[in-house]
Structure formats: structure tokens, C-alpha cells
């Protein structure tokens, strides 16, 4: 049994509801058309998919917010959307899950949407509705004003969910980090791309091993010491206080200012790793909001991921499932 099991159990059972977490980042709507293919089109050599059903789910930063809301914390979401049908659908789903979304700033571009056409179990096509220009001008001012107000109202942690769609600019990230550092509010970042300088001063950054390799000049093998050295190098270079690397079948490593903690995977079976990163950063941000010690927060995040990877498709863990995993 984990040494601080009772402390984590009490937190999940009774204290999550008091935590306020703000998610800032690239919100998306994931849309699916499921069908069957029985013939080729006479108009062009392409399969005809007869649509049987459709589904819409929260994606990107909105999926991080979904994870948090399902665990029972007070969840706030900020980002940009367009004035279109996809925005309406996105906001309806956020409202259903009790996610506060007045931080979504409406811009002239589209609401980022990924539309997938599925024939049986095979993805046949994906259509992307998006505009990846950096948020700027009046829209950046509105976004930062909302973030400042949320911090003033007593947010306990901030998660930056960067999908390189234009919200997480250097200016926005640094505004958040400076404002949170002044109030001693932890900032946890899911990074994107090969330049981490815009995350300078962040408390936590949570790359997977592939993302860590993208910013290193030499390949980092999936070994404890190699991951530790690479993370320490990036910590110094970008003045980031802690780096937590998710390592697939090897669990995760938390490299802090004083020590490194390597937590082995707790998954018994792995079916699908999609969405596991959102789970890890959600639970980590939530635990830090509840003033759980970093190593314990990392253990809880790793435990939640072990449940999620055993499910097919993107999956958000519930509070009850996390409690059951703790009890095991």
C-alpha cells in the first residue's frame, strides 16, 4: 500500500469539491461520424460511407476541463472560439458538465473542430476546422483580463493546455506565470513544440518522452537516469521549477529542484493511451490545488492514468473510479 494512501483517499473523498482550477488553452470540439462502407462511389474512386450515428465530445483544453469536472472540482475554462455552430455545441457540453466557460473569447475565426469519419473501426478521413494565428490585440486583452479576474477570485491552480492552435503565445503564458507566481499559485503546463522558453518560470511542465526528445539535441532513451539528466538540463535552460515526464510503460518521473522521483506504471493492461496526458495534467493540477505534496500528486496522477489507458478511446476518469483505484 502507498505510504500516504489515507491522505490521498481523504483528499479524493472529501476535499476535491473545494478546489478551484482554471484551464487556459486551445479548446476543441471532437466530432465523429460512424458508418459502414459497402461500395465505391461512381463519381470518384472513394468509398461511400453510410452514416449510422454521430458523436461530439470535448477536446484539447476542453477535455482537460472535462477531466477536472468529472472528478468533482470547481472548473473554469479560458480560450478562444468562433461565432459558429461548433461553438454552440461546445458550450452546451461545457454547461452540461458544470464547467464555467465565460473565459471563452469569441473571435472572427472558427471554433477549432476535428471531424472524423469512421468506417467500421477504421478512420477514413479527418476534417479540421481551425485558425492557428496567435491570439492578439483586443482578444488577447480580453483573455488576460478574464485570467486576472479568476486569479483575484481565488483560483487554486492554473493548467495551461498548449496544442499550438494560437492561444498559448509567449505573451499569454508569461502573463499567467507572472500573475500566479505573485500569488504563489501553481502553474502546470502541457507543452507543445520545440521551444519551451515561453514557459519560463512555470512551476511544472508535463511532457511525454516524445515531447522531451523534441527539445533535446540527442535522443533520450526511456531510462531513469537519462530522463533525469535531460529534464534537469531543460529545467536549467528554461528556468522551470519541476518537470514531470510521462514515460508510457515505464510510468512517470518527477524531476524537482532537490530530487527526482520515478514512479512505475500501475497499469495492468494497456489498450489505448489517447487522452492519458490530459488525465495526468488534470489530476496533477487538481492535487496541487489541494496542497498535496508534489510526489504524492504525481503518484495520484500516475494512478489515474493507469485506469484510463485500460479503456478504449479518449476516456475521463471519475471520482469514484479514482477512489476504487486507490482502494486497490
Annotated catalytic residues are: 278
Q: Is the dihedral of CA 243, 68, 16, 280 positive or negative?
A: negative
Look at strands 74-82 and 122-129 and give their pairing. unpaired
- CB of 205 closer than 8 Å to CB of 255: no
Grid coordinates belonging to 225: 537516469
CB contact set of 56 (below 8 Å; sequence gap of 6+): 29, 30, 31, 32, 89, 93
d(CA 96, CA 3): 37
Cβ-based neighbour number of residue 28 at 10 Å:
27
Helices (H) then strands (E): counts for the chain: 10, 13
| Residue environment code for 289-312, b if the CB has 16+ CB neighbours within 10 A, otherwise e | bbebebebbbbbbbbbbbbbbebe
- Hey, which residues does 261 pair with through a beta bridge? 254
Please report, for residues 155, 211, 235, 294, the alpha-carbon distance to residue 19 in angstroms, rounded to integers and kept in the order given.
8, 29, 28, 16
Amino acid at each position: 500500500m502507498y505510504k500516504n494512501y489515507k491522505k490521498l483517499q481523504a483528499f479524493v473523498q472529501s476535499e476535491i469539491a473545494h478546489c478551484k482550477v482554471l484551464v487556459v488553452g486551445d479548446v476543441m470540439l471532437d466530432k465523429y461520424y460512424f458508418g459502414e462502407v459497402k461500395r465505391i462511389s461512381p463519381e470518384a474512386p472513394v468509398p461511400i460511407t453510410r452514416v449510422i450515428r454521430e458523436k461530439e465530445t470535448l477536446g484539447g483544453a476542453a477535455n482537460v476541463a472535462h477531466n477536472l469536472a468529472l472528478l468533482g472540482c470547481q472548473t473554469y475554462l479560458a480560450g478562444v472560439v468562433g461565432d459558429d455552430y461548433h461553438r454552440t455545441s461546445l458550450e452546451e457540453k461545457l454547461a452540461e458538465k458544470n464547467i464555467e466557460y465565460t473565459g471563452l473569447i469569441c473571435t472572427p475565426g472558427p471554433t477549432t473542430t476535428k471531424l472524423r469519419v469512421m468506417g467500421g473501426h477504421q478512420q477514413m478521413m479527418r476534417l479540421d476546422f481551425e485558425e492557428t494565428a496567435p491570439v492578439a490585440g483586443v482578444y488577447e486583452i480580453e483573455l488576460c483580463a478574464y485570467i486576472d479576474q479568476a486569479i483575484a477570485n481565488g483560483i487554486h491552480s492554473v493548467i495551461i493546455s498548449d496544442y499550438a492552435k494560437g492561444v498559448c503565445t509567449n505573451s499569454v503564458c508569461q502573463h499567467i506565470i507572472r500573475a500566479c507566481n505573485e500569488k504563489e499559485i501553481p502553474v502546470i503546463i502541457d507543452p507543445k513544440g520545440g521551444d519551451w522558453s515561453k514557459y519560463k518560470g512555470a512551476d511544472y511542465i508535463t511532457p511525454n518522452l516524445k515531447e522531451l526528445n523534441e527539445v533535446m539535441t540527442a535522443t533520450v532513451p526511456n531510462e531513469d537516469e537519462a530522463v533525469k539528466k535531460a529534464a534537469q538540463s531543460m529545467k536549467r535552460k528554461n528556468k522551470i521549477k519541476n518537470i514531470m515526464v510521462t514515460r508510457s510503460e515505464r510510468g512517470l518521473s518527477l524531476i524537482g529542484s532537490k530530487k527526482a522521483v520515478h514512479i512505475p506504471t500501475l497499469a495492468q493492461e494497456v489498450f489505448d493511451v489517447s487522452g492519458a496526458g490530459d488525465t495526468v495534467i488534470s489530476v496533477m493540477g487538481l492535487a496541487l490545488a489541494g496542497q498535496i505534496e508534489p510526489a504524492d500528486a504525481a503518484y495520484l496522477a500516475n494512478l489515474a492514468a493507469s485506469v484510463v489507458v485500460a479503456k478504449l478511446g479518449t476516456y475521463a476518469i471519475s471520482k469514484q473510479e479514482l477512489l476504487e483505484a486507490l482502494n486497490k
